[in-house]
Structure 1
Amino acid sequence: MTAAQWLLLVAWAGLTLYVLFAGADFGGGFWDLLAGGDVKGMPQRRLIEHSIGPVWEANHVWLIFVIVMFWTGFPAVFASVASTMYIPLTLVAFGIIARGAAFAFRKASTELWQQRLFGAAFALSSVLTPFFLGTVAGGVASGRVPLGIARGDLVASWLNPTSVLAGLLAVGTTAYLAAAYLTADARRQGQDDLAEAFRRRALVTGAVTGAVALGGIAVLWADAPRLFAGLTGRALPIVVVSALAGLVSLVLLVQRRYVAVRATAALAVAAVVWGWAVAQYPYLLLPDATVAKTAADPAVLRATLAVLAVGTLLLVPSLLWLFSLFQREHAVAAHDQADGPAPSGHPAA
């Protein structure tokens, strides 16, 4: 493999991790929006806040990583996408900023009206941000971003049937991942009622998202024939893996196997991301912008890969330690809750 291929492989792995981790966080905001009133929805919102609180900022590391990889390794592709898709990308940036600020301000607010205001901003931005990210992916995948500065249509490039389909699938996928992940978090904390509630939501959301994906086949056939040919051609085995993993996930949810469903749900979503990559390879931008044609100078690619190797030695163990501490905190909290409060005058162990 060439240095350009290795860099693309690593960048796509980073994109997959962003979809899985940040996607679940966005989905948490989706369920925050539908949790109900102040009293009814409070237990669900507390679970969502507790689940994403320690890691939501860390998850955006992957987005920054992907941006830097494409900016450095494939600058012409980065410039083409950023200039043609600047409207949805600007909305994405506003959504990420508004979501993070609202999430922090709601936790610090004491007035009910402030909590409602920031909660609404957090929830709405959690839905709109993945939608607009999906429209960008749909525009690129359907060949509406030609190579060159702002050479694509500034509106039709992201407001088209394939982009809308991708946006809806992005929202559905994030909601499904969040519901599937929250079932295990709720059970770990001893909140079986919430685990049941999110289990039902995961089943419904998974079925609806799967139906949208099946219906989208006709959309791709009519609106993105090259993508359709790739998905039904050499990427077909990956598409089949995604479908099978999705079905297995629904079965595991029915059986209440909440830990196992995390793996199968993640596999189903990751297979979609890699199915798109295989279907479009070796083109980064249709119709003729290949990996080799758009890659940076080999010296730049080699230097980037070397720096990436060093950075990985620092980043990956840190993230693994963060998630390990987070899960351990869940386990301790559930154990303390099960033990009940300590007797008066004696601290809890």
Structure 2
Amino acid sequence: MIADVIAVVLLLAVAAYACGGGTDYGAGFWDLIAGGARRGKRPRWLIDHAMAPVWEVNNVWLIFVLVIMWTGFPVMFQRLFTVMWLPLALAAVGIVLRGAGFALRKPSRRLAGRRLYGAAFAVSSLLTPFFFGVAAGGVASGRVTADATASVDAWAHPTPVMFGLLAVASTAMLGAVFLAADARRFDAPDLDRYFRRRARAALAALTVLAVITLFFAHDDAPHVWHGLTHGLGLLLAVTAAVCTLATAGLLLRRSGSWSRTTAVGVVACAILAWGLAQRPYLLPTSLTVAEGAGADTTLRWLGVVTLVALVLVMPAVALLYWLDTHGELEGLTDADLRRGDGE
């Protein structure tokens, strides 16, 4: 019983990272294709201002996922990082390069430096979610098993690749939806229209990719496909589809908080549907939750520590998100500093 509870907590943490971190990855995706210095100046200005207050905090969810996985389900952790070592290593490198690029491109005084750091941030924002998605697809398709060995090309199959593309499309959709809402907050109607158009395109691409992935999963990941078409997995998949339609409708007008809510609903419900479709397995169809769980004492203490962490961290993170989305975390401008000197 305790193992099932910890497994649900792990799934919720994955969904939280997919939504929180995914929004930031999506912003980097749009930074990548914003165009040259002149054409992309205003979109990149909005991306910098929107991401600055919260981009680091979203990695809390990734750390949470890793801690729960290696403590609560050590066999799964070992197998996943053995079989999918290459895409996970590339994702880790991408996280480092992305953070360094975002942190260093703005203060860099040389144009060449800003371009280099900006390129590192933008390209990593595309590749990192792709490789995370590839690893998830390797789990869903049964290529990560309890007795599998390390492989360079275990990920190079239709379902893992489609999961990677789904991850990129999901982050692009989330990023565009949130940026459109931020544009309205910054009183930039042109950027609101700019990012709403891109959000609709990303949502359409996400829908098409989801259908194609289900087509491949029928033969390549039969256990997960069955779970997605029956029971709770089907219910959550339908909920994700409803959120998709709602998001599409909301993006036809000026963006507000509801478009962000439904966009998060699309991704969160899809992640939860995938997790529940795998029941009772951690690694379909070779390692169940009960078989992969750590000792009962370890799981009980992990549950206690997780509860304490949520009580201490969740209110702070929720407050940070609320302050950011309500425009309470705007940085000081040069005009603000000059005004302060004159008082």
Structure-2-length-normalised TM-score: 0.94
- Does structure 1 residue 57 correspond to structure 2 residue 53? no
What is the distance in 2 between the residues matched to 1:86 and 1:333? 40
The equivalent of 2:241 in structure 1 is 243
Q: Cα–Cα, structure 1 residues 346 and 68, in superposed 2: closer, same or farther, change >3 Å?
A: closer
Q: Cα–Cα, structure 1 residues 347 and 302, in superposed 2: closer, same or farther, change >3 Å?
A: same
The equivalent of 2:39 in structure 1 is 40
What is the distance in 1 between the residues matched to 2:339 and 2:137? 61
2:196–2:251 Cα contact (<8 Å) kept = yes
Q: Alpha-carbon deviation of 1:142?
A: 0.4
The one of 297, 311, 314 aligned to 2:312: 314
The secondary structure found in structure 2 opposite 1:284 is: strand
The equivalent of 1:137 in structure 2 is 136
The equivalent of 2:177 in structure 1 is 180
Letter in 2 for 1:22: G
Letter in 2 for 1:135: V
Letter in 1 for 2:117: F
The secondary structure found in structure 2 opposite 1:304 is: helix
2:34–2:44 Cα contact (<8 Å) kept = yes
The CA deviation string for residues 200-253 of structure 1, in whole angstroms up to 9 with x for no partner, is: 000111011111111222211232222211111221111111111101100011
Q: Which runs of 5+ in 1 are unaligned?
A: none
The equivalent of 2:275 in structure 1 is 277
Letter in 2 for 1:232: T
After TM superposition, the structure 1 stretch with the greater mean CA deviation from structure 2, 222-231 or 10-19, is: 222-231
Letter in 2 for 1:262: R
1:141–1:227 Cα contact (<8 Å) kept = yes
- Does structure 1 residue 10 correspond to structure 2 residue 9? yes
What is the distance in 2 between the residues matched to 1:222 and 1:156? 19
Q: Alpha-carbon deviation of 1:288?
A: 3.0
2:53–2:329 Cα contact (<8 Å) kept = no
The equivalent of 1:76 in structure 2 is 75
Structure-1-length-normalised TM-score: 0.92
Letter in 1 for 2:19: L
The equivalent of 2:254 in structure 1 is 256
What is the distance in 2 between the residues matched to 1:291 and 1:12? 12
The secondary structure found in structure 1 opposite 2:57 is: helix
The equivalent of 2:299 in structure 1 is 301
Number of matched residues?
Answer: 340
2:247–2:262 Cα contact (<8 Å) kept = yes
Residues 156-195 of structure 1 aligned to structure 2 (within 5 Å) = 156-195=153-192
Q: Alpha-carbon deviation of 1:346?
A: 9.7
1:23–1:174 Cα contact (<8 Å) kept = yes
The secondary structure found in structure 2 opposite 1:56 is: coil
The secondary structure found in structure 1 opposite 2:35 is: coil
Letter in 2 for 1:299: T
- Structure 1 segments (4+ residues) deviating >4 Å: 331-334, 344-349
Q: Alpha-carbon deviation of 1:157?
A: 2.3
What is the distance in 2 between the residues matched to 1:296 and 1:34? 44
The equivalent of 1:265 in structure 2 is 263
Letter in 2 for 1:138: G
The CA deviation string for residues 58-89 of structure 1, in whole angstroms up to 9 with x for no partner, is: 10010010010010001111111011111111
Letter in 2 for 1:211: V
1:180–1:198 Cα contact (<8 Å) kept = yes
- Does structure 1 residue 215 correspond to structure 2 residue 186? no
The secondary structure found in structure 2 opposite 1:146 is: coil
Identical aligned residues as a percent: 42
Letter in 2 for 1:206: L
Q: Which runs of 5+ in 2 are unaligned?
A: none
1:188–1:331 Cα contact (<8 Å) kept = no
What is the distance in 2 between the residues matched to 1:165 and 1:44? 28
What is the distance in 2 between the residues matched to 1:240 and 1:83? 34
Q: Cα–Cα, structure 1 residues 43 and 3, in superposed 2: closer, same or farther, change >3 Å?
A: same
Q: Alpha-carbon deviation of 1:175?
A: 0.3
What is the distance in 1 between the residues matched to 2:328 and 2:96? 31
After TM superposition, the structure 1 stretch with the greater mean CA deviation from structure 2, 231-240 or 270-279, is: 231-240
2:184–2:255 Cα contact (<8 Å) kept = no
What is the distance in 2 between the residues matched to 1:262 and 1:249? 8
The secondary structure found in structure 2 opposite 1:118 is: helix
Q: Alpha-carbon deviation of 1:153?
A: 5.7
The CA deviation string for residues 35-64 of structure 1, in whole angstroms up to 9 with x for no partner, is: 111122111111111111121111001001
Q: Cα–Cα, structure 1 residues 302 and 211, in superposed 2: closer, same or farther, change >3 Å?
A: same
